[in-house]
Amino acid sequence: MPINLFIIDRLELARAGIRSAVDETSDLAVTGEFSDFESARSALKASAPDILLIDFAKETDHSPNQVAELVSEYPGLKVLVYSAQDSRDEAWAVLRGGACGFISKNARLAEVIVAIRSVYDGRIFVCHAPQSPLNAGSGPHLPATLGNASPTVAGLSQRECQVLGLVAEGFTNKQIAQQLFLSVKTVETYRSRVMRKAGLADRAAAIRFARQAGLCNTAG
């Protein structure tokens, strides 16, 4: 069975370009194309794709909160955002909202295909332009989970890995809840579940485990 893909992009030409690239593959299929968020959301009720590719252009009103709502409403849905903004803050925001990937509109179509496959396989994918602010040394750093680290480390889900990485970097439950658009109680549940699954006794053990698994950049 091919990987089913929904595309949300206000520009028909952009959708056509992605569809053309997908049509050249044997393992991907575009099963829905939409010019706006709400029409796609209606279609999701009838047919849930494997991947939802969303354009975050300036001209749209798409937001990380919408991503968070979708992921909450459709837990199995994997969201891949692509944007011309190519900013570190935007990448952070959509990933905290539950997206599985962020890709620059300056990327080649071949890279979009790689991103789709990576997200489908359970990896968090970030691709950006060579001169992007995402490469700059200042500002919020992107954690190692945004590279090739598997979100199924020690049987952990993607969200559990996100929580563990933030715990290891010193964030409080309240701060993690704000970043991931979750309640503090939900974070506490995830945190307890992660510690139990990975057999971690305390935060020091969580830091060591997270560093070894490539889930954080904490040095100590």
For the domain that residue 201 is a member of, what is the CATH number?
A: 1.10.10.10
Where on the phi/psi map is residue 154: left (φ > 0), alpha (ψ -120 to 50), or beta?
Answer: left
Q: How far apart are CA 120 and CA 192, in angstroms?
A: 27
pTM: 0.61
Residue 218: inside a domain: no
- 125, 207: one domain: no
Same-domain status, 22 and 130? yes
In a domain? residue 219 = no
34: in domain? yes
Please count the CA atoms within 13 angstroms of the CA of 128 that sit on its side-chain side: 21
Tell me: do 30 and 127 sit in the same domain.
yes
Residue with tokens 């006794």: 201
Quote the CA–CA distance of 86 and 56 in Å, as a whole number.
Answer: 10
Helix, strand and coil percent figures for the chain, each rounded to 5: 45, 15, 40
pLDDT digit string, tens, across residues 180-215: 778 899 999 988 888 887 777 888 888 877 776 666
How confident is the model over 26-76, as pLDDT tens digits? Answer: 999 999 999 888 888 888 888 889 999 998 865 566 777 788 888 888 878
Q: Is the sign of the CA dihedral 179, 97, 89, 209 positive or negative?
A: positive
Residue 9 belongs to domain spanning: 3-142
